[in-house]
Amino acid sequence: ETGVTQTPRHLVMGMTNKKSLKCEQHLGHNAMYWYKQSAKKPLELMFVYSLEERVENNSVPSRFSPECPNSSHLFLHLHTLQPEDSALYLCASSQGELGSSNYNEQFFGPGTRLTVL
Amino acid sequence: GQNIDQPTEMTATEGAIVQINCTYQTSGFNGLFWYQQHAGEAPTFLSYNVLDGLEEKGRFSSFLSRSKGYSYLLLKELQMKDSASYLCAVGDSNYQLIWGAGTKLIIKP
């Protein structure tokens, strides 16, 4: 596989469930991102990992918990979500962070469409 | 606060030219990006401007004026496959990308 992959592509969960989203990048990049995309709203940056260390949190609710075990994999653990958390969750990767000399554009995965009942 | 403004929706005719504008107010500036996103798909990179002026890449061009906090994406010889949302994003002083809500471009035959 090439590029950035995400699983599952669709997820329906209840407010009491625990689930995890997975992202994998095959580009050799060292920065990975989680974004939330709601209809007709700007992309919201949730988390940034650079060289497997979290560098940005953006005051995301604690019911979202990221995990980056290595530079190729990124997880978003979900628990006790609310209906307003229903959205498209996009993962992206880049070589370097924005502002670093080796930064290049972000490559996005296809997203996980999450519905919270 | 930080803000990126772009039109919600635009309509154009196949073969024509369309200009999508983006204005921004951010704490600092570290480049402006344009991405294309087809319905149900991932955003894909189109262009990056960090200096004033026009960057041309095939049918697509992007312009930046930092003093005016303004950019546009110009699409020429429109094709039906150009129907998509176009996202403007600006790198702020913390080197984070601030995103606009996107412009949905509808191409009619």
Q: What is the DSSP string of B37-60?
A: E-TTS--EEEEEE-SSEEEEETTE
Q: Which residues of B touch A111 (CB under 8 A)?
A: 42
Specify the pLDDT at position A76. Answer: 97
Q: What is the pLDDT of residues A100-113, one digit of tens each?
A: 777 778 999 999 99
Q: Does B91 touch chain A (CB under 8 A)?
A: yes
Q: List per-residue pLDDT tens for chain B, 109 residues long.
A: 789 999 999 999 999 999 999 999 998 999 999 999 999 889 999 999 999 999 999 999 999 999 999 999 999 999 999 999 999 999 988 778 899 999 999 999 9
Give residue B47's identity as a one-letter amino acid code: S
Name residues 20-39 of chain B within 8 A of A (Cβ).
Answer: 30-31, 33
Q: Residues 75 to 94 of A: which have CB under 8 A from any B CB?
A: 90
Is the per-residue pLDDT at A1 higher than 60?
no
Residue B97 and residue A45: Cβ atoms within 8 Å? yes
Q: Which of A105, A107, A112, A113 to mutate to test the interface with B (most CBs of B within 10 A)?
A: A105
Terminal alpha carbon distance of chain B: 40
User: DSSP string of chain A?
Assistant: --SEEEE-SEEEE-TT-EEEEEEEE-S--SEEEEEEE-TTS--EEEEEEETTEEEE-TT--TTEEEEEEETTEEEEEEES--GGG-EEEEEEEESS-TTSTT----EE---EEEEE-
Q: Among candidates A39, A23, A44, which has minimal Cα distance to A92?
A: A23
Q: List the single residue in B with minimal CA-CA distance to A9.
A: B40
Amino acid present at B11: T
Share of chain A above pLDDT 70, in %: 98
Give the chain A residue whose CA is nearest to the CA of B49.
Answer: A105
Cβ B95–A99 below 8 Å, yes or no? yes
B96: nearest CB among A45, A105, A107: A45
Identify the band that residue A38 occupies on the pLDDT scale cut at 50, 70 and 90: very high
Judging contacts by C-beta atoms under 8 Å, the chain A residues touching residue B4 are 42
DSSP 8-state class, residue B82: G
- Residue A29, min C-alpha distance to chain B (Å): 16
Pair A55, A30: CB distance under 8 Å: no
